[in-house]
Structure 1
């Protein structure tokens, strides 16, 4: 089933545009190990990413450590520092993603990124991985705007580009992304190649699901 062609597509980053899991897991596990705390298999991180770095830290720390705000803040600082150091070691765009983005941009569709990843890190990684893609916005988690699933940032991207939410698609791999799209009145498109499953995406309101990056332009009738 095809969807009408939007004027703007807002993409999530981790698990949607790029596979970042190994570097996130490696960085956080490194700091866990330095404190003698249990580490996690990479696959466990699939359910822990997507809500911002502070939520990730809260998820990996033992309960008694997570309640210690001083320790939690220091752990987060060190983990983020370690992730900044290695964030592009193993991270790559999903196969076909650069081609899909180029195809969409070539048809005049405006493209943006909205992530709960720290803003400075998102901008650095997006520029490194997608240097030729003319994103109209690359927005991560910053103090000046609320995190997804709050729709405010997605709606502001629409406003700045003079595009109605109903003419915008939001593409992501998690329930948080689908909730954001629904709350903003946008077309919710879930990707099945990312970190969450069909059940989560459908349960959160995905209207369309794609198996690969190259199915994204095809969904909108673009070959």
Structure 2
């Protein structure tokens, strides 16, 4: 199989954003008098969009519609001003992207982070690598729904089976499978290898440049 394009998840795959996400949410929680959480907890809160993060971070007794919406709006205000304070690309990501770009591969981003914040983070920290860049605009389109992955396929005019989808959570792996793309998981993100394998990842990367081995290998087999 010849792969012509790669779709990357953003948070936990290209950039480590857990501290900015956690700090922003904790500020909101503290302002409303709710308990805060450590970064390890936030590893399991993220992945399904900021509203879902808010719901998971709130106390069980305070997950009403009004409270969730109030805290979500507050979180968006705080995080939009702090989404690139501590966030940075993982070690090896820039090296990988430069290699992929030199090989004329098409690169794209698909995130469950809001579209405006996805574009802000990518343009600030990883400019000139990706097209298109899609974040979340409608809850119904949220990964693992493959609709936006397939839209990227159409935009690039590349068949899904010729596209690699790289992510750090079971949601990303499910999205890849739903879109009929090659599902590749990464171990440096927010979830563990076990989750990725159980979700059906065909390959597991321990370092970003491991992806080059998949692209150049003539014999494709499970590499987990």
TM-score range, shorter chain: over 0.9
Instruction: Give the deviation of 1:123 after TM superposition.
Output: 0.4
Q: Is the 8 A contact 1:12 1:114 kept in 2?
A: yes
Aligned to 1:40: 37
Q: Is the 8 A contact 1:145 1:153 kept in 2?
A: no
> 2:59 aligned to 56, 59, 62, which one?
62
TM-score by length of 1: 0.94
Structure ranking higher on relative contact order (CA contacts 8 Å, 6+ apart) = 1
- How far apart, CA to CA, are the structure 1 residues paired with 2:88 and 2:27? 21
**How large is the Cα RMSD of the aligned pairs?**
1.3
Instruction: Give the deviation of 1:43 after TM superposition.
Output: 1.1
- How far apart, CA to CA, are the structure 1 residues paired with 2:107 and 2:127? 13
- How far apart, CA to CA, are the structure 1 residues paired with 2:192 and 2:83? 24
SS at match of 1:74: helix
1:30 aligns with 2:18: no
Instruction: Give the deviation of 1:176 after TM superposition.
Output: 0.2
Which aligned pairs between 1:168-183 and structure 2 lie closer than 5 A? Answer: 168-183=163-178
1:206 aligns with 2:201: yes
- How far apart, CA to CA, are the structure 1 residues paired with 2:191 and 2:184? 13
1:218 aligns with 2:213: yes
**Cα deviations across residues 135-165 of structure 1 (Å, max 9, x unaligned)?**
1210000029601000111011101111111
Instruction: Give the deviation of 1:115 after TM superposition.
Output: 0.3
Gaps of 5+ in 2: 218-224
Report the number of matched residues: 217
Instruction: Give the deviation of 1:6 after TM superposition.
Output: 1.1
Change (3 A) 1:77 1:144: closer
TM-score by length of 2: 0.94
Q: Is the 8 A contact 1:5 1:221 kept in 2?
A: no
Aligned to 2:133: 138
- How far apart, CA to CA, are the structure 2 residues paired with 1:21 and 1:144? 22
